[in-house]
């Protein structure tokens, strides 16, 4: 059975996602779509010219929405990063522009007959993921945002660096919005086979400082090069691979939370059928309050910047 992924948006992030996919031979067929035809065609040629030096072959199709019909996954990487550059601490700065883009793209995805898993990277990702679901009519469990998969990685990197261990040896989650209201749920974090709350006492760790490192890591990258790409692309590719291989992995991704009436990040089991099941967490009362505040923040900003 062939594997196919479509990528909508060939900017810094979309092109990096495509590169990971081609270099690692993740799929047999890749569909690349972007309004900038010169750029997307150039990237397609560039990838094809690289294939003689790769151990994999990938068939690449450009700007053909009909080719998405039998895709396993469509990844939305569209956006206008210059809007965030003008307001670098606010992911909602892109909302009005990206809403218009999604309204143009989502019906084309729907009309292609696509019936796979839709993964949204586009910011503000929780709102955009919900909009994609509403327009495409795909089941909620089949429309997923990368959410705090990246923020959780940033937290693990900060904790691992502080403890002098590999970041992959740290477990736990950042929850809520992929944005200013997200937070590290320290009750879920473990390292060196101990709860981080206990380690903090013996190692004199400043959890607030580590939370800030996870929260604002992306803005540090933005200030340095004007955009982020590698971290978020690796998160998106990990999510796509989890779906393709039916890995049934627990991931903190943006998914629809019926009890809050909004998309935000909370750990779920992800597999070939999208969101397989919820993962209950024993959060502290303070963390529950922060989660509610994050949900409220998303709703408030939908009203402020987007559609009611």
Residues at the binding site for NAD(+) are: 9-14, 34, 98, 121-123
Which residue reads 């690692």 in tokens? 24
Q: What angle do CA 126, 131, 136 make, to 5 degrees?
A: 130
Contacts of 209 (CB under 8 A, 6+ apart): none
Q: Do 31 and 44 form a contact (C-beta atoms < 8 A)? A: no
Count Cα atoms within 13 angstroms, Cβ side, for 276: 13
Sheet containing strand 171-175, strands side by side:
171-175, 183-191, 194-195
103: three-class secondary structure by DSSP: helix
| Active-site residue list | 178
Helices (H) and strands (E) in the chain, counts: 10, 12
Numbered residues of the known binding site: 9-14, 34, 98, 121-123
SS3 content of the chain, % helix, strand, coil (to 5): 50, 20, 30
d(CA 199, CA 11): 41
d(CA 92, CA 28): 35
Pairing verdict, β 183-191 and 171-175: antiparallel
């Amino acid at each position: 059975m062939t594997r196919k992924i479509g990528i909508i948006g060939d900017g810094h992030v979309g092109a990096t996602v495509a590169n990971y996919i081609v270099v690692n031979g993740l799929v047999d067929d890749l569909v690349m779509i972007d309004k900038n035809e010169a750029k997307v065609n150039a990237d397609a040629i560039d990838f094809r010219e690289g294939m003689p030096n790769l151990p994999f072959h990938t068939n690449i199709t450009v700007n053909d929405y009909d080719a998405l019909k039998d895709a396993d996954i469509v990844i939305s990487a569209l956006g206008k990063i210059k809007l965030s550059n003008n307001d670098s601490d606010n992911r909602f700065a892109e909302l009005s522009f990206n809403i218009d883009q999604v309204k143009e793209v989502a019906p084309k995805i729907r009309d292609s007959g696509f019936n796979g898993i839709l993964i949204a990277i586009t910011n503000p990702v929780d709102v955009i993921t919900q909009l994609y679901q509403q327009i495409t009519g795909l089941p909620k469990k089949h429309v997923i945002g990368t959410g705090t998969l990246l923020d959780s990685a940033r937290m693990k990197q900060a904790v691992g660096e502080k403890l002098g261990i590999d970041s992959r040896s740290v477990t736990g989650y950042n929850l809520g919005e992929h944005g200013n209201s997200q937070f590290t749920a320290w009750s879920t974090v473990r390292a060196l086979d101990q709860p981080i709350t206990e380690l903090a006492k013996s190692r004199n760790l400043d959890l607030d400082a580590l939370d800030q490192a996870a929260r604002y890591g992306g803005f540090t990258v933005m200030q340095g090069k004007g955009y982020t790409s590698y971290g978020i692309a690796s998160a998106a590719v990990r999510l796509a691979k989890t779906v393709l291989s039916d890995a049934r992995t627990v991931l903190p991704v943006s998914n629809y939370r019926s009890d809050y009436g909004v998309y935000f990040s909370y750990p779920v089991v992800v597999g070939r059928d999208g969101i397989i099941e919820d993962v209950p967490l024993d959060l502290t009362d303070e963390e529950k309050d922060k989660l509610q505040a994050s949900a409220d923040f998303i709703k408030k900003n939908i009203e402020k910047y987007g559609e009611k």
